[in-house]
Every structure is written in structure tokens, then in C-alpha cells.
């Protein structure tokens, strides 16, 4: 069997098993608009989704739109997002993105990867989250959980997020990309933790590189 066919089979197996566990959980970040999702995703860097949802509840009451945030200085936003960490940079990026959306995109969050990447604070992971969850444009966000599981499962031999994204997207149908990322993230939180993965409870063990090497099976 070719390595490409083997990888396609492995990804199909992983998706099926995780889908059986978690289904289609959707995006855990609370939002009502694409712009609110953008803000929430920027805030999620090195911060839990639970904390982000607490922070954005108050932030969006005060500044619900790009137009509202574009009118203020980052210093005015900082008190609302301080508990999300890295608040100086995040406030600057959120306000900067809002201003660029108003000036360059007629107040609407853009719908292409290149345009999203032109916004302050938006990398490929954030852009893929927005594309997949706000616009139903296939995207495969690679966060730290996806990186870790990709290496452990033998999907990739490295943690480079761009390379992982390319490998997965080349070997599984685009209609599965967004949910596949959600499933890997959930599994990373629930079972395949960074410090102590619960391999005995994991349905992926039969096809897991880490499990085979760790337990010599």
C-alpha cells in the first residue's frame, strides 16, 4: 500500500472514531457575527475558550461591531480583555483589525485567506477558524492540540502548523476539514493531554504511533 493511501486510510479511521465520540460540536467560542468570532479567536491565543467567552460577554456588550471598536483606542479595550492575557498586543490587534475592516472592506469581515491574513493579529489558524465557522468555507485550523495529536498519531513528523495543514488537507475531503479540527482539539483536551495521555481510553490507539512506541505494541 502506498504511503499516500495509508495516510488517507489513517485519517479516515481517525475521523470516524472521533466523530463517533464527539459528533459535530461546532465552534466553542460564543459569537453572533463573523467579526465577533474574529475577536474571540484573537483573544483565544494562550487562553481557554471558557475564559474568552467570559471576557467577550462584557466586551461585546460595549463594542459589538467593527464600527464600534474602530472608533476607540486600544487602551480603552484593555480593561475588558485583561484576564485573557497578552492584553496589550491583543487590544492593538483587535482595534487594528476593526479599523482595517472598516477602511478596506466596507465594514465586512473578508472571506478569503489572503484578505484575512492582511488584518492585524490574524494568522492562518485564526483565518481558518473564521472561514470554516463563520462562512462555511473549508478550513483546517491547526492549534497546539492539533499539532500534538498530528505528531503522536503519525500524521506528521513535525509540529509545523502550515505543513500539518497541507498534509491533512491533501489527504481528507474538504467537507471534513473544519469539523476534523474541532474533533482533534476536543480529543486533545479530553483524552490525549500534553502531559499524560489516557491511551487506555483512546479508540485511536490501534493506529497511534505514540501508543505503539510508548507501550511497545
Alpha-carbon gap, residue 93 to 169, rounded angstroms = 28
Catalytic residue of the set 125, 159, 166, 209? 125
80 Cα distance to chain centroid: 22
Query: Is 163 in the active site?
Result: no
Query: Is 106 in the active site?
Result: no
Residue pair 97/71 in contact by the 8 Å Cβ criterion? no
Q: DSSP string of 171-182? A: HS-GGGHHHHHH
Residue pair 55/81 in contact by the 8 Å Cβ criterion? yes
173-180 long-range contacts (CB < 8 A, ≥24 apart) are 174/138, 175/138, 176/15, 177/132, 177/138, 177/139, 177/140, 178/128, 178/132, 178/133, 178/138, 178/139, 178/140, 178/141, 179/19, 179/24, 180/11, 180/15, 180/18, 180/140
Which value, to the nearest 10 degrees, does the dihedral of the CA atoms of residues 76, 81, 83, 87 take? -80
Catalytic residue of the set 10, 90, 100, 143? 143
Annotated catalytic residues are 125, 143
Amino acid at each position: 500500500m502506498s504511503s499516500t493511501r495509508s495516510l488517507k486510510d489513517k485519517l479516515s479511521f481517525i475521523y470516524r472514531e472521533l466523530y463517533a465520540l464527539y459528533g459535530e460540536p461546532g465552534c466553542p467560542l460564543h459569537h453572533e457575527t463573523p467579526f465577533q468570532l474574529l475577536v474571540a479567536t484573537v483573544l483565544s491565543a494562550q487562553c481557554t475558550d471558557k475564559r474568552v467567552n467570559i471576557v467577550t460577554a462584557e466586551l461585546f456588550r460595549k463594542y459589538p461591531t467593527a464600527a464600534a471598536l474602530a472608533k476607540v483606542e486600544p487602551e480603552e479595550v484593555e480593561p475588558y480583555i485583561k484576564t485573557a492575557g497578552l492584553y496589550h498586543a491583543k487590544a492593538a490587534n483587535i482595534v487594528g483589525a476593526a479599523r482595517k475592516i472598516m477602511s478596506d472592506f466596507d465594514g465586512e469581515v473578508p472571506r478569503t485567506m489572503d484578505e484575512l491574513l492582511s488584518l492585524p493579529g490574524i494568522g492562518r489558524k485564526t483565518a481558518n477558524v473564521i472561514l470554516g465557522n463563520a462562512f462555511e468555507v473549508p478550513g483546517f485550523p491547526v492549534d497546539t492540540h492539533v499539532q500534538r495529536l498530528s505528531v503522536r498519531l503519525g500524521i506528521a513528523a513535525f509540529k509545523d502548523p502550515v505543513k500539518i495543514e497541507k498534509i491533512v488537507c491533501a489527504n481528507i475531503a474538504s467537507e471534513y476539514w473544519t469539523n476534523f479540527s474541532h474533533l482533534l482539539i476536543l480529543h486533545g483536551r479530553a483524552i490525549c493531554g500534553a502531559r499524560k495521555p489516557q491511551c487506555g481510553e483512546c479508540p485511536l490507539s490501534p493506529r497511534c504511533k505514540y501508543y505503539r512506541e510508548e507501550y511497545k505494541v
